[in-house]
């Protein structure tokens, strides 16, 4: 099967697919495990010593520390999500085909998506440690319950769930088929749009010129690639219809009886 037209999962054995799912799971849940271990370590005697040392060196007892951490993780997660979205638009548009073999672009796209989810989880979990505005589990999991800018934070929660749904379909392509996979994957654009709105209107540093340039610049590249992808898709469908009409006319001409 041609890897330029089909994802590499279709050429893998069941054992290889299971191994890939296991390794990808380690990437995502590794972030979660490290966060949990770190939180548990803080409550040990060694954790107390480390906390006091860090506080002396970096003033980590500041109420704003965890807010800075969660914003940093959120920005990294956003940039990775943007890169994943741009990559996902570039593959079907065949922009990168002359440079990279598409047999590997699917794996890279999947890896970047998982990495963005890992940093998003870190962004979410750190909110529970924030001393200035702590979040409960329900406020984190259920949209629009946030005590801080509930509408914009709620949009971010819903968008995160959309990205999670799209990422899960990476592992279900053989079961649901490529047409369904592509249809669900379009929702990643909606998820990216929601995350962008979330970052713009809920981030405390969003008014800064640097962040405005970041969000607007990355957003414009996604808009450009989306339009380019739609134009290429329209042209491909139009060419396919023309070829089908030509083939139909040729078949009809061949089936007409010859006049002697």
Closest CA to 74 of 104, 117, 111: 117
What is the pLDDT, as a whole number, of residue 155? 95
Angle, CA 113 vertex, CA 195 and CA 143 arms, to 5°: 35
Q: What is the pLDDT of residue 110?
A: 83
What is the reported pLDDT for 205? 84
CA distances from 201 to 90, 196, 204, 257 (A): 28, 9, 8, 70
Round to whole Å and give the CA distance between 257 and 127.
78
Tell me how far apart the alpha carbons of residues 162 and 159 are, in angstroms, rounded to a whole number: 5
Q: Structure pTM? A: 0.73
Consecutive 10-residue averages of pLDDT for the chain (260 residues):
43 59 65 68 68 60 72 93 90 67 73 90 84 82 91 95 90 82 88 94 87 92 91 84 79 67
Buried b (16+ CB within 10 A) or exposed e, 164-193: eebbebbbebeeeeeeebeebbeebbebbb
Closest among 225, 232, 9, 236 to 106, alpha carbons compared: 9
CA distance 23 to 51: 32
102: DSSP letter? H
Alpha carbon distances (Å) from 181 to 15, 17, 186, 212: 22, 17, 9, 33
Q: Where are the alpha helices (DSSP H) in 94-125?
A: 102-125
Choose among 111, 139, 114: nearest CA to 125: 139
Domain ranges of the chain: 8-223
């Amino acid at each position: 099967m041609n890897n330029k037209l089909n994802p590499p999962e279709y050429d893998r054995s069941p054992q290889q697919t299971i191994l890939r799912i296991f390794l990808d799971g380690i990437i995502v849940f590794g972030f979660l495990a490290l966060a949990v271990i770190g939180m548990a370590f803080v409550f040990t005697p060694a954790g107390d010593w480390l906390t006091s040392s860090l506080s002396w060196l970096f003033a980590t007892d500041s109420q704003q520390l965890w807010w800075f951490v969660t914003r940093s993780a959120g920005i990294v997660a956003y940039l990775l999500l943007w890169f994943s979205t741009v990559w996902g638009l570039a593959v079907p548009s065949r922009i990168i085909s002359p440079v990279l073999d598409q047999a590997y672009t699917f794996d890279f796209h999947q890896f970047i998506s998982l990495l963005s989810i890992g940093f998003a989880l870190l962004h979410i979990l750190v909110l529970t440690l924030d001393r200035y505005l702590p979040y409960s589990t329900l406020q984190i999991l259920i949209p629009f319950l946030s005590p801080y800018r509930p509408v914009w934070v709620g949009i971010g929660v819903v968008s995160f769930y959309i990205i999670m749904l799209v990422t899960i379909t990476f592992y279900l392509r053989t079961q649901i088929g490529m047409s369904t996979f592509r249809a669900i994957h379009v929702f990643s654009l909606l998820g990216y749009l929601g995350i962008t709105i979330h970052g713009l209107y809920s981030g405390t540093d969003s008014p800064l010129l640097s962040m405005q340039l970041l969000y607007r610049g990355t957003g414009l590249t996604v808009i450009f690639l989306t339009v380019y992808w739609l134009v290429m898709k329209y042209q491909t469908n139009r060419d396919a219809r023309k070829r089908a009409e030509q083939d139909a006319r040729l078949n009809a001409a061949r089936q007409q009886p010859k006049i002697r």
